[in-house]
Chains A and B, each alone.
Chain A
Amino acid sequence: MSHPALQIEALSVTLPTARGIVHAVRNVNLAIAAGEMLALVGESGCGKSVTAQAIMGLLPDSARTHAHTALFNKQPLLTGKYQKNIAMIFQNPMATFNPVLTIGYQIAEPLRLLHGYSRKDAEHETVRLLERMQIADARQKSLRYAHEFSGGMLQRAAIAMALACKPELLIADEPTTALDVSTQAEVMALLTELRVEKNLSMLFITHDLGLVSHHADRIAVMYAGEIIETASTSSVLDNPAHPYTRALLAALPIRHSNARLAALEGSPPDLRFPPPACAFAERCAKAMPICIQQSPPVVEQHHAARCWLHNTGHTHE
């Protein structure tokens, strides 16, 4: 990677709750180049959404965020200010829109407030954006309300709203989880098109390794608040280095195979008391004595894995 647009080093987020302080994100490094799509993959509760919200500045005031470096296009992040050049789409498109305002009004809002469009220009741009999202009869549709849209159409309108911010980085937080398989394919195709067209950087959050295999350039796998493996998509899928990534892949049904699915037993650690060493050691079939004593080193390479098995730094078998 030449020069990453998004550069985050040693990001940590703690969230105070009634039952103790949760160490939701621990020492996370992320880098995304212009026009690149990085998929952040992990189970629920592993900290992927909190990472995204930290970048966006959407965390509650009580959250403590700390990072060694946090830059986007050389502008500092985590300043508590609104990030003009970053936009986000969310899992549930129904909750993304205000139910009492028209879709068109809400898409035009960032155009008028952030980019100083007149009401008329904003209207034109809104219709154009909706058309770009392959929404038929866009002018009429822009006067409709969220409940009159189907899930897939609404998610496309949400992408239009995100694009109205004219972002350079688009964060997509499980944007297709609530959609059908066929609609999911449409939304993914659209996102990929837009990424190429506008040279958008994308941080794509999901728990579905299958979904990102066709679309992402690189994959970062997150577990218990840490990124445990980062590499190009093909490298992660073909040669997963971390036992957790292997377990995730083994849990997927494979074509022409009736072999029993390898379910991962146990549950992730309680992040109020994060384990001092490897967080996965407890569930890992290959755990060694050192795994519960010392945190594994992060080897920054083409294929980085945070695991004692790869201490030599050589990750491919």
Chain B
Amino acid sequence: MRPVVGCTIRGTHMNKLLRIEKLVKHFGHGKKAVTVLNHVDLDIHAGEIVGLAGESGSGKSTLARCIAGLHSYDSGAVYFQDALLPKKFSAVDFCQQAKKLQMIFQDPLSSLNPRLTIGDILLEPLRLNSDLSAEMQEQLAIQWLQRMSLKSSDLSRYPHSFSGGQLQRIGIARALIRQPQLLICDEPISALDVSVQAQIINLLKDLRDELGLTLLFIGHDLAMMRYLCDRVAVMHQGEIVEQGCTTDVLEHPQHAYTRKLVNSSPIFL
């Protein structure tokens, strides 16, 4: 495998925000157990955008969900700011970790509760854990909506009345309202139109620069990853087969699987 060096990292140098060591995850028990993550090592530095590429079933989403505590893992270790995350999250762990790490998902409509207004959706994370007054909370929600190019009157509308791109922006606002350090984006643009994809990608890039966010971006559009990510890791059958600087990996892929992936990308690569 390519050594993970020689890559200029944005923001704070070599400040590891997330460290994943020999992570193993099985689904099922005994003879039927399937190894979904097989000794995965991955570092994410503060302020960078790391892309995670690979086909469906390669374990990208499972890895993301293990980091976020949505799945327990079997062995290995995940360190967030040098603190070891438990293998299985308790309710308290969730509350604490949710301040630091948030996620956005592929299908923006199904990731928002259809029976809550946008206001409720945005305020819920604040209500659960914030010392701000109710008024301040609402101010904050409105600020975020405006940052997402939505109107403050949208607070009282329901998810079904928005377009896909708008919903994804609401999802981003919900994730960022608590000011996490790491945002995991699980294929956030796969369900969107090309013109809207560009909006979301621009937005993510801007937010990274404004807030000093760190992003783990999962996707399979290599052209978009080349544009967005500082580093990429390629996953295949539960293993990271190659990782490094985006241009290195995509211009000079070393692993046969990466080459196959690069060759099957349609255009502009």
Number of interchain pairs (Cβ within 8 Å):
89
Interchain CB contact under 8 A, B268 and A253: yes
Interchain CB contact under 8 A, B202 and A261: yes
Chain A nearest CB, measured from B255 CB (Å): 14
> B128 at the A/B interface (Cβ < 8 Å)?
no
0/1 per residue, B187-227, Cβ < 8 Å to A?
A: 00000011111110110010000000000000011111011
Across-interface contacts of B129 in A (CB, < 8 A) = none
Interchain CB contact under 8 A, A248 and B195: yes
Residue from the set B223, B224, B267 with the largest chain A CB neighbour count within 10 Å: B267
Chain A nearest CB, measured from B217 CB (Å): 13
Determine which of A214, A261, A262, A265 lies in contact with B266 in the assembled complex, contact meaning CB atoms within 8 Å. Answer: A214
Interchain CB contact under 8 A, B266 and A213: yes
Across-interface contacts of B267 in A (CB, < 8 A) = 209-211, 213-214, 252
Interchain CB contact under 8 A, B194 and A253: no
Contacts A44-B164, A251-B195, A252-B194 known; A181 to B265 CB distance under 8 Å?
A: yes
> B84 at the A/B interface (Cβ < 8 Å)?
no
Interchain CB contact under 8 A, A253 and B264: no
- Alpha-carbon distance between A289 and B108 when the two chains are bound, in angstroms: 37
Interchain CB contact under 8 A, A43 and B195: yes
0/1 per residue, B46-79, Cβ < 8 Å to A?
A: 0000000001100000000000000000000000
- Alpha-carbon distance between A262 and B202 when the two chains are bound, in angstroms: 9
Q: Please classify the interface of chain B as helix (H, G, I), strand (E, B), loop, or mixed, using the class held by over half of its residues.
A: helix
Across-interface contacts of B163 in A (CB, < 8 A) = 267
Across-interface contacts of B265 in A (CB, < 8 A) = 181, 185
> A277 at the A/B interface (Cβ < 8 Å)?
no
A41 (CB) vs chain B CBs: closest residue = B194
B56 (CB) vs chain A CBs: closest residue = A180
> A4 at the A/B interface (Cβ < 8 Å)?
no
For chain B, the count of residues having a C-beta within 8 Å of the partner chain is 31
- Alpha-carbon distance between A207 and B196 when the two chains are bound, in angstroms: 11
Across-interface contacts of A182 in B (CB, < 8 A) = 55, 260-261, 264
Across-interface contacts of A258 in B (CB, < 8 A) = 227
Determine which of B195, B224, B260, B261 lies in contact with A253 in the assembled complex, contact meaning CB atoms within 8 Å. Answer: B224
Determine which of A43, A151, A186, A210 lies in contact with B268 in the assembled complex, contact meaning CB atoms within 8 Å. Answer: A210
Chain A nearest CB, measured from B267 CB (Å): 3
Residue from the set B194, B223, B228, B261 with the largest chain A CB neighbour count within 10 Å: B194
> B269 at the A/B interface (Cβ < 8 Å)?
yes
> A316 at the A/B interface (Cβ < 8 Å)?
no
- Alpha-carbon distance between A75 and B2 when the two chains are bound, in angstroms: 60
> A183 at the A/B interface (Cβ < 8 Å)?
yes
Residues of A232-276 whose CB lies within 8 A of B? 247-248, 250-255, 258, 260-265, 267
Across-interface contacts of B220 in A (CB, < 8 A) = 180-181
Chain A nearest CB, measured from B209 CB (Å): 12
Interface residues of B (CB under 8 A from A): 55-56, 163-164, 193-199, 201-202, 205, 220-224, 226-228, 260-261, 263-269
Interface residues of A (CB under 8 A from B): 43-44, 151, 180-186, 207-211, 213-214, 247-248, 250-255, 258, 260-265, 267
A-B contacts, 10 of them at CB < 8 A, read A43-B193, A43-B196, A44-B193, A183-B55, A185-B264, A207-B193, A208-B266, A210-B266, A252-B198, A264-B199
Q: 10 nearest interchain CB pairs? A: A210-B267, A185-B264, A253-B227, A251-B198, A263-B199, A264-B195, A261-B198, A263-B198, A180-B55, A210-B266
Supply 12 further A-B pairs (C-beta < 8 A) apart from A182-B261, A207-B194, A263-B198.
A181-B222, A181-B265, A183-B55, A184-B264, A209-B194, A211-B267, A248-B194, A251-B195, A253-B223, A255-B268, A261-B198, A263-B199
